[in-house]
Amino acid sequence: MTYIELKQQIERLQQKAAERIQVEILSDMPLQPWFELFLQEAWAKLGKAAHMIRIPWEERQRPKAAGTNVRIIWPGPQAVQFNQDSADIRVSQEQLSNPLFPFYGAAWPPNQTEAPPLARDGVLNLEWIMAEIGLERCRAAGEKRWGDNYSAALQKQVAIHAVRLYETKHGRRKKCIVLDCDGVLWGGVISEDGMTGIQLAETGAGKAYYQFQTLLKRLKEHGIILAVCSKNDPEDVKRVFRQHTAMVLKEDDIAAWSADWKPKSEQIADLAEILQIDLQDMLMIDDQQWEIAQVKKYYPQMGSVCFQKETISQKLAEQIWIMPEDQNDQNQLRLQTYQDNGKRAELRKNAVSYEEFLRQLDTKIQIRPAQESDLPRISDLSRRANRCTNGVRYMTEELAQNRKGYELQAVFMSDIYRDLGLVGCIGLNQNEKSLDLFCLSCRALGREIEKELLTALPQWVQRYRWKDTMKNEWLRQWLRSQKNWEEIK
């Protein structure tokens, strides 16, 4: 694609953008126009129009300008020394083989002795990105212009990872994949072809479906919720999961099921209700474009991918990505909680009142000072939560800093079905007399817990930090109606 064609494509995408963001690019050299275009393209695909501002390197210490969402550092031409020895790049083969793994670390560029002055938006590791695409594709060679020795391929990959990191740290990525079965998890139609007639195997015609299931399994292990939405008899579908020897995904990998003959828009609404997540956090994968169109007619905010064997991995990677710290012990507990939500929904349906439902659920809350072992989960929760949160995000390393006068509390919950573990956190800054961090997992919502936690805060709290997530305005309105606190941006 030429420069002009790419620019025209971005302009078309930006006309449909639901959000506008401002990006500062800190650089000691004139940028190739390609890099800014690649950044704009990556954000435009996520429904955002990016306005770029270049900041000279000598002004690197000044604060971000008002309205700036993220600052990106673009290393100068001498920051990375290319060589033919790939042994210098310490990335495991397992990481390199995963197309959905955007690497990031603590140093960018690798030869820079002090950390770049990025705020809370993370730091990309250029070495790892170079390893991902291959050294031979990183050097500019014949396309070198304006003293820049980075190839267009490397610039595009850096732009994609920068946007992914920003979106991940701000809790803006898909949480749930809703899967069709026939033509997606296996080839053929189970009700017509039977167990032995569908295409699913490690080799031959069923290989693509086997590989796709392997990818889904990896995503599930990194915290992505998997749900099934199929026009089929439920027992036919579950029989494949239980008995087919080539199934990579098993019955207990699926958080919620909907297999019947209702329109898929109704099935997906049921799944969202059971899982207690927003439709815009869900991604539908179906092999029938008309099924996708029927769902999008009612729920345009929902993501979708039309399954094609040749392109599904690439299309999925554009909408779902994982980070190294996403793989943790909480993922299995989270899955089990979602699976139990169907039982909770049935209990609520049969209760004579909401109060009776809460009484029968027998929810128990424990609050204690956060321990070092809690910090990865609290960081994960702060980045995932969008609805019941003040919008503040923290990485584990930031939470581990010993700040005088800062109190971090962990919130645990259990009910008659399961011990849900750590579901929330409260960060109090005594120096500012403020609520610095508040978030509660969607697994804990619907029980009025958030209001009880906020009501019980110490009386010396007079302020609260706030960042909009596009889903947490209800909490802000509640705080304004119940608390005479000052808001800190």
Successive 10-residue mean pLDDT values, the chain, 489 residues? 75 73 71 75 79 73 70 54 33 35 33 35 59 69 54 79 72 83 91 87 90 89 87 89 92 88 90 85 90 90 88 80 59 72 77 83 90 88 87 84 87 88 92 92 82 89 88 88 84
| Sheet hosting strand 256-259, strand order edge to edge | 256-259, 225-230, 176-179, 282-286, 303-306
Q: What is the pLDDT of residue 87?
A: 24
Pairing mode of beta strands 406-414, 364-369: antiparallel
Q: Helix, strand or coil for residue 224?
A: coil
Quickly list DSSP for 229-261: EESS-HHHHHHHHHH-TT-SS-GGG-SEEEESS
Of 357, 334, 233, nearest in space to 275 by CA: 334
What does the alpha-carbon distance between residue 417 and residue 443 come to, in Å, rounded to a whole number?
13
How far apart are the C-alpha atoms of 126 and 110, rounded to whole Å? Answer: 7
Specify the DSSP element, H or E, that contains 71: strand 68-74
By the 8 A CB rule, do 397 and 324 touch? no
Q: Please give the pLDDT value at position 411.
A: 94
Task: State both tokens at 375.
Answer: 């910090």
Q: Please give the model's pTM, rounded to 2 decimal places.
A: 0.63
What is the reported pLDDT for 332?
67
Q: What per-residue confidence (pLDDT) applies to 83? A: 38
Q: Are 24 and 72 in contact (CB under 8 A)?
A: yes
| Rounded-to-integer distance, Cα 244 and Cα 203, Å | 15
**End-to-end CA gap in the chain:** 41
Encoded amino acid at 304, one letter? S
- The per-residue pLDDT for 106 is 27
pLDDT of res. 330: 64
User: Quick check: helix, strand or coil at residue 444?
Assistant: helix
